[in-house]
Structure 1
């Protein structure tokens, strides 16, 4: 996949109108079925049931040593990845860091957190290393500053946007030493924040990756939560999507973060389409725009195309937020007002969790081929992570089969994932609305705007997938 250094994508094997019609009809039928058979306000209560696995004696005995082993592996892989980037061969195909960061970690960890559970909460090496240093030095964990509540999760929003820009538009993202420098820079930011506010505050509000994997982990059947100063560790078993229906307030910053996740992965697909190519051509043909881009490029290290793509990348999450807020306002208008006086913002923000199944599905569909094809590079790289000619496990010469996934299998699987994700989103939205609004009529009328939004996004997703790759 060009946006991630290397990989490929395929064209749809059937006409686009067929996919759009079928997907839209599936969502509408799901909505109708819920309207007919899910009329009670307590619908979905059994959906929220969970089993506390730590109450099982065997699992309770195994959990702590297993977590310690996983943390150790996480630290070792982090150190190895940094080392290969800084001192290894600078060919991205011969150096572990590029495949490790962009494929196994970003794509693979996201898949695992969404489909199994938020294991990143356990293996995240930054707090593990920080706390190890604190123990060795015998000092306090932080200097005791209180994290400003008004900041919410906005630091994580900004850092995740910076990461998305680097993933999609940074020209040096596949240069091992530059990537290692960026990784170390993020770690230093995190460690400084932990020193000021404490580990738990940083992970909850500022660590973009802890937050993105936590959001994806809400969809997963395993609830994985490390112990904090205020909460015990938890390992629970639940149905897919049940974690999205916790009865807790959703701050504006958290809602913005979820929408940013959806916007950036959508931009990832859109900026490789012929339409984006035509937008670039039109921008260069416009004298004022071309002059502005030239001025920016002359004053910075970015070229005109990067500046144009950056501007559009900024517009994507802004558009997603505005559309979501407008949909929410429409929802409240049709429902006859907020669930209780003064809760309009809370009612709208609560619906953002219904978009997580869509984000999960599109992430799976968009990156599956990258993980399956490019992920194979890890086999030879395991034997020679630095690119120095080693053959530790006898796999250095192992070839990579980029045709391992047939086009038909890939596309049918991707489309099924997107449609299933949107169906689950309709169900989650319905359950959330039923918990908030008093009457069945208010629930149904209020969900019509969300249905329109989800059908529109399904169509957009499939349209993007159907476009030939450009660039």
Structure 2
């Protein structure tokens, strides 16, 4: 923990000056939202040829931008009660697990193992239409949309349910150790690769191709887990790492003694882990890929790719460049913020340490935008899933897909703003854990508040865009 320099009159002036600078920049961000906001339609998700929109009034987008600015300014400038800030994340209670719960866990685990080959088989021999194929609905709606929400709303149950972990545990191979130099960089590459496959190929609309991807992922994952054990899921598998991060944000967390129930984000706020650069890259990547997944579905992105394609550049090149370039920009902004902390709050703590210390605070932003982006899938396709599950090989010819009501866009915007508020709160709590006194923690948050506003503003802008027609 670093020592806080003496607070002289000049340092107090510097702190006030820093507050004025942050306030000006945040006000400029708010003004930009006001100036460029028009009556818009929010991206609510789509599958196959199905696309839906939820109207978002201009006043709501403007009010949301004001909320983002206000929340950031409030947490970074006004909340200085160290005792209250340090005690808030520790509120909660512990619950003991019962034998009944353990038995239900075993049933759920083996049900998941049996479900994988069944849904893959339906994907291979079932209907060609993605919205009528059980595999497509299970992967994109039930699992990646619905189940992922449970990991940050309730807790990470994936280690217990993971069917590939269960199968790998039955293979009698001697487990080997992953070299330390590998780190967790393979998970960063794998995360970007999975998103690239999703947006660059017709995997979302082709059940046969999706079945091949699931089979390939299953083969690699089982082989890797059989060879390296839990280290594979801790450092290599991007899916397990995503769920683990979301689980640290959830109000319910598994402990050695049972369940720890607290406030959302409390686990992130009181965790003393310092992320390595590869972990920082994965967390920033998680924020970016969820953002990019929404971006490529907008009419604005379609216009960009069409304009570049008119110049003779293939669309896949533009999309891949956008994925990698946007990731690089998000990472660069975050590391610049970490460097900025050493100027706004002079300290001997290294930039690398600061980046690793505050990286967990980005997880609520990713969770908030994931909910905003995918809740439309879950709500809209609920009756479709029920009909297809009842008859997976011969579903009804006319499937019902719900359209969101007019107020649905407000739910998406609120989710993004709440994610931002929780992110700033987690960063604020971690700042008071790292720095002494009151002035030093507050000054350390100026650069990270700006980054949080930047990430959240991008998410708000994407949600406020009309979706493209004929997309995934």
* TM norm structure 1: 0.84
Unaligned runs of 5+ in 1: 226-231, 294-303, 390-395
1:337-375 per-residue CA deviation (whole Å, 9 max, x = no partner) reads 34x4xx431211221211111111111111111111023
Contact 1:356 1:425 in 2 (8 A): yes
- Is residue 107 of structure 2 the alignment partner of residue 69 of structure 1? yes
Equivalent positions of 1:83-232 (< 5 A) are: 83-132=121-170, 134=171, 139=172, 142-198=173-229, 200-224=230-254, 232=256
Aligned to 2:292: 267
1:72-119 per-residue CA deviation (whole Å, 9 max, x = no partner) reads 221122121122123333332332100000110001111111111112
- Quote the Cα distance in structure 2 between the aligned partners of 1:164 and 1:456: 22
Contact 2:46 2:52 in 1 (8 A): no
- Is residue 346 of structure 2 the alignment partner of residue 347 of structure 1? no
- Is residue 368 of structure 2 the alignment partner of residue 361 of structure 1? yes
Equivalent positions of 1:384-403 (< 5 A) are: 384-385=391-392, 387-388=393-394, 396=396, 399-403=399-403
- Quote the Cα distance in structure 1 between the aligned partners of 2:425 and 2:88: 14
Instruction: Kindly state the Cα deviation for residue 20 of structure 1 after the two structures are TM-superposed.
Output: 3.4
Q: Secondary structure of the equivalent of 1:337?
A: coil
Instruction: Kindly state the Cα deviation for residue 166 of structure 1 after the two structures are TM-superposed.
Output: 2.3
Question: Residues 260 and 29 from structure 1, CA distance in 2 versus in 1: closer, same or farther, beyond 3 angstroms?
Answer: closer
Q: Secondary structure of the equivalent of 2:93?
A: strand
Equivalent positions of 1:175-324 (< 5 A) are: 175-198=206-229, 200-224=230-254, 232=256, 234-245=258-269, 246-286=271-311, 290=312, 293=313, 304-324=314-334
Question: Residues 233 and 205 from structure 1, CA distance in 2 versus in 1: closer, same or farther, beyond 3 angstroms?
Answer: farther
Instruction: Kindly state the Cα deviation for residue 25 of structure 1 after the two structures are TM-superposed.
Output: 4.3
1:142-173 per-residue CA deviation (whole Å, 9 max, x = no partner) reads 43321112212222222221221222231133
Cα RMSD for the two superposed structures: 2.3
Contact 2:123 2:211 in 1 (8 A): yes
Q: Secondary structure of the equivalent of 1:146?
A: coil
Contact 2:246 2:363 in 1 (8 A): yes
Instruction: Kindly state the Cα deviation for residue 321 of structure 1 after the two structures are TM-superposed.
Output: 0.4
- Is residue 13 of structure 2 the alignment partner of residue 15 of structure 1? no
Instruction: Kindly state the Cα deviation for residue 325 of structure 1 after the two structures are TM-superposed.
Output: 0.6
- Quote the Cα distance in structure 1 between the aligned partners of 2:438 and 2:50: 48
2:457 is aligned, of 456, 459, 462, to 459
1:241-294 per-residue CA deviation (whole Å, 9 max, x = no partner) reads 1121311121111111111111111112222334323322442344xxx2xx4x
Contact 2:305 2:315 in 1 (8 A): yes
1:334 is aligned, of 307, 328, 344, to 344
- Quote the Cα distance in structure 2 between the aligned partners of 1:90 and 1:130: 31
Instruction: Kindly state the Cα deviation for residue 329 of structure 1 after the two structures are TM-superposed.
Output: 1.0
2:82 is aligned, of 40, 64, 73, to 40
Contact 2:76 2:446 in 1 (8 A): no
- Is residue 448 of structure 2 the alignment partner of residue 450 of structure 1? yes
Equivalent positions of 1:364-443 (< 5 A) are: 364-385=371-392, 387-388=393-394, 396=396, 399-403=399-403, 405-407=404-406, 409-443=407-441
Instruction: Tell me which moved more, 4-13 or 350-359.
Output: 4-13
Question: Residues 456 and 33 from structure 1, CA distance in 2 versus in 1: closer, same or farther, beyond 3 angstroms?
Answer: closer
Question: Residues 376 and 260 from structure 1, CA distance in 2 versus in 1: closer, same or farther, beyond 3 angstroms?
Answer: farther
Aligned to 2:118: 80
Contact 2:64 2:414 in 1 (8 A): no
- Quote the Cα distance in structure 2 between the aligned partners of 1:26 and 1:172: 36
Contact 2:76 2:445 in 1 (8 A): no
- Quote the Cα distance in structure 1 between the aligned partners of 2:203 and 2:300: 25
* TM norm structure 2: 0.84
- Quote the Cα distance in structure 2 between the aligned partners of 1:22 and 1:109: 27
1:18-58 per-residue CA deviation (whole Å, 9 max, x = no partner) reads 6235433454355335643433267233413453323xxxx
